[in-house]
C-alpha cells in the first residue's frame, strides 16, 4: 500500500492578511517557518521515501524543513502550484468582494469564476491530481511520499484523484496552514482518504486557501 501525504505550506503574511496569493511567490513568515518545523517533526516519523513540492517558495521552504530531518532531496513540480487567481492576486478578499462582487459570489458558491482570469476548478483539479499520481510513483511498494503544495490546490487535487463531485468536495473545510491529507492506494481499492486536516494545533484562525 502506497501512502501519499498532501501537505499545505506554512503561514505567510498574505495568509495572515486574507490577501489572495494564487501563484504569486509569497514567502513564509516567522510563524510559517515555525509551523513547518513543528509539522516536519511529526511527518518524519512516517519515514517518507520521497518529498515533492510546488516550486513556489512557501511550499518549497515548507518541504525543506522535512528534507532537513530526512536527508532527502526535494523534487519540485510546477503543477503543484496554487490555483491561478488572475486579477484577484494581490487583493484582499474584502477588496475582491467589493470590486468584483459577481465573481466573488460565484467563488463563494463553489462555482467557476467567470472573468478575471481565474483558473477553472476542473483545470486545477486535473493538473494537481496528475502531479500527485506522478509523485506517488516515486515511492517503493509500501512507501510514503510527502507532497508540499497549497490550500485550494490540495483540496481540488485530492478531490479529483478520488473522483469526488464538486458538491461532495465542498463538504471539506479548508486545510489549515501546515496541515495535511493522508491518502492510501492499493490495487484492490484504488485511492482512499485515510485522514484530513491533520497537524499541529493551529495558532490562529485559518485564512481562506488562496
What three-state secondary structure class fits 98? helix
Residue 52 neighbours by CB under 8 Å, 6+ apart: 63, 74, 75, 76, 77, 80, 131, 135, 138, 145, 146, 147, 148
When computed from its CA atoms, the radius of gyration of the chain, rounded to whole angstroms, is: 16
Contact 80, 53 (CB under 8 A): yes
Q: Supply the DSSP symbol for 193.
A: E
Q: What does the alpha-carbon distance between residue 119 and residue 101 come to, in Å, rounded to a whole number?
A: 17
185 is catalytic: no
- What cell numbers appear for 129 in the block? 491530481
9 is catalytic: yes
The catalytically annotated residue of 41, 78, 82, 203 is: 82
Task: Return the closest-CA partner of residue 53 out of 44, 61, 43.
Answer: 61
Catalytic site positions: 9, 82
Amino acid at each position: 500500500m502506497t501512502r501519499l501525504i498532501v501537505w499545505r505550506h506554512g503561514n505567510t503574511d498574505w495568509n495572515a492578511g486574507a490577501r489572495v496569493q494564487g501563484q504569486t511567490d509569497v514567502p513564509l513568515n516567522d510563524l510559517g517557518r515555525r509551523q513547518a518545523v513543528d509539522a516536519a517533526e511529526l511527518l518524519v516519523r512516517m519515514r517518507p521515501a520521497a518529498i515533492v513540492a510546488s516550486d513556489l517558495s512557501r511550499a518549497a521552504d515548507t518541504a525543506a524543513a522535512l528534507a532537513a530531518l530526512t536527508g532527502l532531496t526535494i523534487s519540485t513540480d510546477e503543477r503543484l502550484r496554487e490555483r491561478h487567481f488572475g486579477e484577484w492576486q494581490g487583493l484582499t478578499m474584502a477588496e475582491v468582494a467589493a470590486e468584483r462582487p459577481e465573481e466573488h459570489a460565484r467563488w463563494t458558491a463553489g462555482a467557476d469564476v467567470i472573468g478575471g482570469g481565474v483558473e477553472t476548478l476542473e483545470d486545477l483539479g486535473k493538473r494537481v491530481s496528475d502531479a500527485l499520481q506522478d509523485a506517488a510513483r516515486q515511492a517503493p511498494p509500501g512507501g510514503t511520499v510527502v507532497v508540499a503544495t497549497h490550500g485550494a490546490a490540495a483540496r481540488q487535487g485530492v478531490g479529483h484523484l478520488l473522483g469526488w463531485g464538486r458538491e461532495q468536495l465542498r463538504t471539506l473545510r479548508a486545510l489549515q496552514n501546515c496541515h495535511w491529507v493522508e491518502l492510501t492506494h492499493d490495487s484492490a481499492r484504488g485511492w482512499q482518504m485515510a485522514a484530513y486536516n491533520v497537524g499541529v494545533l493551529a495558532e490562529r484562525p485559518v485564512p481562506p486557501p488562496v
